[in-house]
Each structure stands twice: as C-alpha cells, then as structure tokens.
RNA sequence: GGAGACGUGGCCGAGCGGCUGAAGGCGGCGGUUUGCUAAACCGUUAUAGGGCCCUAAAGCUCUAUCGAGGGUUCGAAUCCCUCCGUCUCCGCCA
C-alpha cells in the first residue's frame, strides 16, 4: 500500500517510480480522488460536529425538563445531508483504496530498469558446472530409479503433482531439515510451524490480494491455502507496534506451498519443476526502516550459503524493474544450474518490500520512551525451494550409471547413505 | 456439531442510552521530598484522520475509534443484526 501523503507531496516522483515498472502516470487520478474525498470528509465532519452539539443540547434540555422539539427537528433536517456526505466519503475512500491497492511497490533506486527477465543483471557466480557427458533430467533419473512416480500422482491428483518414494522422499526431508538447521542454529532465525490456511486479511497484508487471487487455491469456506510461508510468517506481526530495539525479527518455516499455476499452461509441464504443491523453507525478516537494506544482503547470503554447502553451481542476479514481484522494492534471485536443461533456474527469490506490506498490515515500531511510530520493513526470501533443490541435487550429482551421489552435508540426514541407486529386486 | 458466557486504553477493571475518550487501580513518564534507595504526594500518560496555521515542528480545533462491519435513535461502549475471536459444558475426532 502506498502512502497517500507521500503521493500528495511528491506526485512527480511517484509517477516516475511507477513508470519504471511500465505504468502510466497514476497521480492525477489519485490526487483527484484524494481531493474529493477530503472535501467530502470535511463537509461530513462539520455536519457531525453540528449534530453532536445539538444532540448535547437536547440531552441537557431533556434532563432539565425543557422542550427539545425544535432542536430535534433541526437535527432531523441535518441528517439527510449527513447521510449523503457519509456515503460519498465512504465511496470515495473505497475507490481510492481500491486504486492504491492495485499499484505495485516503487522500485528501489539501484534496481536496473528493464522490461522482463532478459534485462536482469547477473551479480556473481559460484562454482562451475561439472561437465557431464550426457546429462539426464531429474524425471528421467527419478523414474528410472523407480522412486519418482508421475503417473500415479496424476491418477489421484491430476497434473503437476509428484510422488517421491524411499530415499528420494527422504532426500526431500533431509534437504528441508538441513536448511532449517543452518538457518536456526547459524543465522538466528526462529523456526515456526504456522497455519497453512489463512483468511483474506492475511493474504491482503502481503499484497497477494486483491490482485493475484487466481494464482491461489481457496477452500469452500473461504480460506486460502498459503502459496508460500511468507504469508503466515509475515502476518506474525500483523497490527502490532513492535519494540524497535528488538528488531530485526527473523522467522523461518518449512511448509508446503500451494499454487494454482494459472496462466502457466504449457510451461515446465514435465517433471516436478512447477507443481501445484511443493515444500519450501522460507525466511522472513521484520526490520526497522534503516536496517532493511543490510538485512536484504544478509538474507541473500543465508540462501547462498545453502547452495554453497550443497556444492551446487549457481548465480545471483538482481531483478530488473519489469521482472520484480508486486510488493518488492528490490529482489535478488538465486538461479541454480540444471544440467538436464542446460540452464540456470530460479531456486530462491529474496525481496525487500520496504514498508509496502507493513502499511497494509499496519505494523509499526518505536523506540522505548519514544512517542512517534514508523512502519517497519519486511523482507522475505526462499531459503530454499526444496522441490527444485531436490531436482538440482539429482541432476548435478547424477552418475553415468543413473545413480545419484549425495552431497556430504546431507549424508548425516540420510543415515550415512552416500548414493541413491536402483534398489535390488526382492 | 449442540448449549451457554464473554470481548472496554500498555495491563487489570467499572460503566449497560446523553454530563464517558471513557471512573478506579497497576504500570510508564515528569516533578516535590530524600545522604542513597524505598515510600509518600502532585502532575501527566491512546491511536488515526481532516481543517486552521505553515518552510517545518509545535500549537489550536474538529471527526472517528470501547473486537470488526451494519442497523435503531436527536444522541450508542451501552439496544438489535452479521461476522471474527476467547472461555465453559456436552458430543465427535487426529
């Protein structure tokens, strides 16, 4: 949500910022609505003041046994106008909010301008892919091992679901456990086990509503299935005034994520790259306004650490204005090397949302003894997407015979297992 | 799922149609007293928005807010409805 006062005072700067995301100037319409709303608000408030005053007089008269008929008639006359003003103020306010709620966040100054993913900028690369002679894709490897089943998944659940079995199922669990252990014991994140069904307000708070309802699953009683743990983790502070000295808060959770993948028909249809349901370890930070940029770098490094320890080749890019998500001021993506596809694919996205979500959720902070509050900044990042990480491990650690060696850091989580191979038939 | 009770300021708690943005207490802040601490006493202590003023802050003023949203009324924390949430009892269940 945007600060209406900022727009009032800096309409050109506001339009210029959104123009970088390809939007036409919004401030004229916003300022028009805002001006009208304030005018009717003033009128409404004056009428209310008069009504309150007259009502008070009526009260005094009645208590002292006087006749209040004349005054009551006067208020009755006021009332029609008051109702009109009230309705008008409400309608204009709703219109203004509806408009503001559909406008994306202003990009940070240092975000590169661009139209789409082709204009993203690579910042750094880690490791070089080992040259595999004839790399196979993960679904190929998984099915050959007899540990990945798309057919039965489709039969019971439809397209975009996967069944993992045996050591592959365990590998998925190991990845999540490993990530959580690193983030909680080394990086100071607090592990959370949150709800996966949430209400409208929670989804609105992180700016996935009202605009992106079609990407989400909704239950018959109106709850939403979380598309990422960002939703419940960020809502952990909804409506609160936090002690500035206790910030930043750092939360992590491993949860399933549910996405309808509307609009991605035909994209990544094979394998488990793009699913309706996948596990992800999420990182969320709540910071004071002046801390968020440093926290953004830190969070990105936390995610990078996971890939480095898994010995996976990847690169870090900064998204251009045209490729950033709705609520982000600035976003770093980590892209892991996928030998089977011979390309880098997104495995983590770390965003600084500034005060955009905080305004929607009304989350503020203040120093002890201070009176003034300010909106906090929120950040979220994948640390990492577990399903895609599983794919990356399979493809990067595949052996010529179709077996998969297990990265060293995961072996303790796999009961010492060093390699996944075709099980002996019993 | 059935029956009932309830949601008031940072916290506890009164109020159940007008003088209540809200008694009283605790806590916080400022002060007096004090060798220091404690105690006592005095004062103060919500948030958001509009208008005036204006470089800004402060200030003045108005409005809204007693879980949320509607309604009744000249007037609602108080009455009615819906929703959200909490608690108790019964049933059911991982």
Which nucleotide's C1' sits nearest to the alpha carbon of A68? B74
**Nucleotide closest to A46 measured between CA and C1':** B62
Domain A117-420 of CATH type 3.30.930.10: yes
Which residue minimizes Cα–C1' distance to B48? A362
| A4-101 and A117-420 share one fold | no
A426 has a pLDDT exceeding 80? no
Instruction: Please tell me what DSSP assigns to residue A338.
Output: E
Question: Of A217-226, A321-330, A379-388, where does mean pLDDT reach its minimum?
Answer: A217-226
pLDDT digits (tens, 9 = 90+) for A37-50: 999 999 999 999 89
Q: Which nucleotide lies nearest residue A73, CA to C1'?
A: B74
How is domain A4-101 classified at the CATH fold level?
Answer: Helix Hairpins (1.10.287)
Our measurement of CA A244 to C1' B35, in angstroms, reads 38
d(CA A300, CA A174): 22
Give the pLDDT confidence score for residue A424 in this predicted structure. Answer: 59
Taking residues A297-317, report their average pLDDT.
98
Average pLDDT over every residue of A5-16: 93
CA of A307 to C1' of B56 (A): 50
Q: Kindly list the domain boundaries of chain A, sorted by start residue.
A: 4-101, 117-420
**Confidence band for A315, pLDDT divided at 50, 70 and 90:** very high
Judged by average pLDDT, the poorest of A209-218, A377-386, A413-422 is: A209-218
Percent of chain A at pLDDT above 90? 74
* ipTM score: 0.85
**The pair of three-digit structure tokens given for residue A137, joined into one six-digit string:** 């894709």
- Asked if the model's pLDDT at residue A335 lies above 80, the reply is yes
Nearest residue to B47, CA vs C1'? Answer: A373
Is residue A425 over pLDDT 90? no
> Nearest Cα to A414, choosing from A193, A136, A169?
A169
Show which positions of strand B are touched by protein (CB under 7 A).
18-19, 28-29, 47-51, 62-64, 70, 74-75
Whole-angstrom CA distances from A23 to A104, A121, A274, A350 are 9, 22, 29, 24
Q: Quickly give A302 CA vs B10 C1' distance in Å.
A: 36
- Residue A317 (CA) to nucleotide B77 (C1'), in angstroms, measures 55
Q: Give the mean pLDDT of A363-372.
A: 80
Per-residue pLDDT, A28: 94
Q: What do you get for the CA distance between the two ends of chain A, in Å? A: 60
Structure confidence by residue, pLDDT tens digits, A131-165 = 888 999 999 999 999 999 999 999 999 999 999 99
Residues of A that are catalytic = 259, 274, 346, 349, 388
For the CA of A113 and the C1' of B28, the distance in angstroms is 49
- The Cα A3–Cα A224 span in angstroms is 27
Strands ordered across the beta sheet of A330-338: A121-126, A314-318, A330-338, A343-352, A377-385, A277-287, A249-258, A190-191
Place of tokens 């830190």: A298
Cβ(A318)–Cβ(A121) below 8 Å: yes
């Amino acid at each position: 949500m945007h600060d209406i006062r900022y727009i009032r005072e800096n309409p050109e700067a506001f339009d210029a910022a959104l123009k970088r995301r390809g939007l036409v100037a919004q401030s004229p319409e916003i300022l028009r609505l805002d001006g009208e709303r304030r005018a009717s608000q003033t009128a409404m408030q004056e009428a209310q003041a008069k009504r309150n005053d007259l009502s008070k007089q009526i009260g005094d008269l009645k208590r002292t046994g006087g006749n209040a008929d004349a005054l009551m008639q006067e208020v009755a006359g006021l009332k029609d106008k008051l109702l009109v003003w009230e309705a008008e103020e409400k309608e204009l306010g709703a219109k203004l909010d509806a408009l503001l709620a559909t406008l994306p966040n202003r990009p940070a100054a240092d975000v590169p301008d661009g139209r789409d993913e082709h204009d993203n900028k690579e910042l750094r690369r880690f490791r070089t892919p080992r040259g595999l002679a004839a790399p196979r894709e993960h679904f190929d490897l998984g099915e050959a091992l007899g540990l990945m089943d798309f057919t039965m998944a489709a039969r019971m659940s439809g397209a975009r679901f996967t069944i993992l079995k045996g050591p592959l199922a365990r590998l998925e669990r190991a990845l999540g456990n490993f990530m959580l252990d690193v983030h909680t014991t080394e990086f100071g994140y607090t592990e959370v086990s949150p709800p996966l069904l949430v209400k409208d307000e929670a989804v609105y708070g992180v700016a996935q509503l009202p605009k992106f309802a079609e990407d989400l699953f909704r239950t018959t009683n109106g709850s939403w299935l979380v598309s990422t743990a960002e939703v419940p983790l960020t809502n952990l502070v909804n409506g609160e005034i936090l002690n500035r000295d206790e910030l930043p808060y750092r939360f992590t959770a491993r949860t399933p994520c549910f996405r309808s993948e509307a609009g991605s028909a035909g994209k990544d249809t094979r394998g488990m790259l793009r699913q309706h349901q996948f596990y992800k370890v999420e990182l969320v930070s709540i910071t004071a306004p002046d801390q968020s940029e440093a926290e953004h770098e830190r969070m990105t490094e936390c995610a990078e650490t996971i890939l480095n320890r898994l010995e996976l080749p990847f690169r870090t890019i900064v998204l251009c204005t045209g490729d950033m998500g709705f609520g982000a001021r600035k976003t770093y993506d980590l892209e892991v090397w996928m030998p089977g596809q011979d390309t880098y694919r997104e495995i983590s996205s770390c965003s600084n949302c500034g005060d955009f979500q905080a305004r929607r959720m009304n989350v503020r902070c203040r120093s002890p003894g201070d009176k003034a509050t300010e909106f906090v900044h929120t950040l979220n990042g994948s640390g990492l997407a577990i399903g895609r990480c599983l794919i990356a491990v399979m493809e990067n650690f595949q052996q010529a015979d179709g077996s998969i060696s297990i990265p060293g850091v995961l072996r303790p989580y796999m009961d010492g297992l060093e390699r996944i191979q075709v099980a002996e038939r019993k």
